[in-house]
Amino acid sequence: MDAKVNSSREEFIEDLIANNFTTFFVATHPKYSTSNPAFRFTPTPVSVAVPYSWSYADARERLMHLSSLLTAEEAERRNINFVNPALKDFMPAAALPTLRGGIQLLLPDEQAYSHRHSANAFRLVFEAPKTGAYTNVEGNRLPMSMGDLILTPNWTWHDHHNEGDSNVIWYDGLDVLFAYWMGGVFYEEMVDVTGDEYQAVLHEADSVTDNFGAGMIHRKSMYPDHIPASDNTLIYYPYSKARQLLSDLAQHGAGDPYEGILVEYVNPVNCGPTFPTMSTSLRMIKERSTVEAMHRTENVLFITMEGSVTFHLPDNQTFTTKPHDVTAIPSWVPYSISNKEQDPAVLFSQSDRPVFEALSFYREEKA
């Protein structure tokens, strides 16, 4: 190719990009190709995010510091969010492309006023007083004890309260990044709708849980496998029941080399995931055992609830976790999880897999 053609091609490309156009040719261009994996179709998914792990001790220290600078009232929600280093410059508070995670604190006698939003959210309790901490979801007082899972589905009113004698700290998981990128975020404060800042307590938690037992089934029994969830009325899953189920399954020899002992929190109406956009599950990895690596099209945040595990990723990257550490695995990144300790480890996970399944983008493959 002569130099003149070459330089006019360069000028053409620069003009195109400067005027907000593009062409497939840029995908193979030495200057532009590397920045454009979404344009040049890759044989398998390449995530915009990177794997990452946040230590609870580091996050908690900053949350406590924040509480000395800001009252719960001033903060609206006093939290520290987990930010994926590859996303921080162009996505708001994203742990993964679709998922937000953070920890939130209420000191004794504090409360966080009622609001509702189109984004689905859940709370997973990390530290709580013996009694007195709760979230009110649509009038239901749902107590917060270590490991309890509380759902605040799309457009449900929720306010948080700490009437106990020590701090309550919980993990907030949301699908709001997905909603944000689609243009689906709506939000409302209760005071603007009703004039009240908080909801009245209309029911206690047993009126929710007594209808559905543990509200969990062994992942292997979920059938059909890929139902998108709609409204889930089971908004409270106490840890004691979930943990007992894992122990029972372990006792009976359950377990899968690629999953460990995996139970999924389900919407009891259709046995589908907890939210249309997010699934939540709890997994036991037995002492001195390893869960083998797979590629999966899901963005998943793991929260170590008990024990310690090591995630093994490509290029010899490893993350070793302690309780309440949060580990992000983007789509298709293969990982194995080993538990080298003398005790079982328990991991909670928050995944956007229901979105992939509903849209027929779900794939998995042994690594």
The binding site for ligand GTQ (CB under 6 A) comprises: 77, 79, 102, 104, 117, 121, 158, 172, 174
Pick 112 or 345: Cβ nearer ligand GTQ:
112
Q: Report the residue number, 94 or 245, with the smaller CB distance to ligand GTQ.
A: 94
Rounded to whole angstroms, the Cα distance separating 225 from 145 reads: 31
Smallest distance from ligand GTQ to CB 358, Å: 24
Report in angstroms how near the CB of residue 69 gets to ligand GTQ at its nearest: 17
Which two tokens mark 100? Answer: 């937000």
Q: What is the DSSP letter of 214?
A: T
* Burial class of residue 39, CB neighbours in 10 A (0-12, 13-18, 19+): middle
Sign of the Cα torsion 346, 121, 137, 190 reads: positive
Closest to ligand GTQ by CB, 38 or 191: 191
H helical segments located in 186-238: 190-193, 206-209
Burial 130-164 (b: 16+ CB within 10 A, else e): eebbbbbbbebbbbbbebbbbbbbbebbbbbbbeb
CB of 177 to ligand GTQ, least distance (A): 11
Residue 121 or 142 having the CB closest to ligand GTQ: 121
Q: With contact defined as beta carbons under 8 Å apart, do 162 and 106 qualify?
A: yes
Among residues 175, 107, 168, 146, the alpha carbon closest in space to that of 323 is found at 146
Choose between 104 and 277: whose C-beta lies nearer to ligand GTQ.
Answer: 104
Q: How many whole angstroms separate alpha carbon 110 and alpha carbon 163? A: 7
Concatenated DSSP letters of 141-190: EEE--TT-EEEE-TT--EEEEE-SSS-EEEEEEE-HHHHHHHT---EEEH
Q: How far is the CB of 117 from ligand GTQ (least distance, A)?
A: 6
CB 90 to ligand GTQ: min, Å: 19
CA–CA dist 222, 226 (Å, integer): 9
Q: Min. distance of Cβ 157 from ligand GTQ in angstroms? A: 10
Nearer residue to ligand GTQ within complex by CB, 80 or 249: 80
Q: How far is the CB of 216 from ligand GTQ (least distance, A)?
A: 24
Judged by beta carbon, residue 105 or residue 242, the one nearer ligand GTQ is 105
Quote the least distance from Cβ 240 to ligand GTQ, whole Å. 23
Which position's Cβ is nearest ligand GTQ? 172
Task: Tally helices (H) and strands (E) across the chain.
Answer: 8, 25
Question: Do the Cβ atoms of 50 and 91 come closer than 8 Å?
Answer: no
Nearer to ligand GTQ, 101 or 344 (CB): 101
- DSSP state at residue 105: E
Between 92 and 257, name the residue whose CB sits nearer to ligand GTQ.
Answer: 92
Nearest approach, Cβ of residue 112 and ligand GTQ (Å): 6
C-alpha 80/C-alpha 103 separation (Å) is 5
The total of other beta-carbon atoms located within 10 Å of residue 362's CB is 16
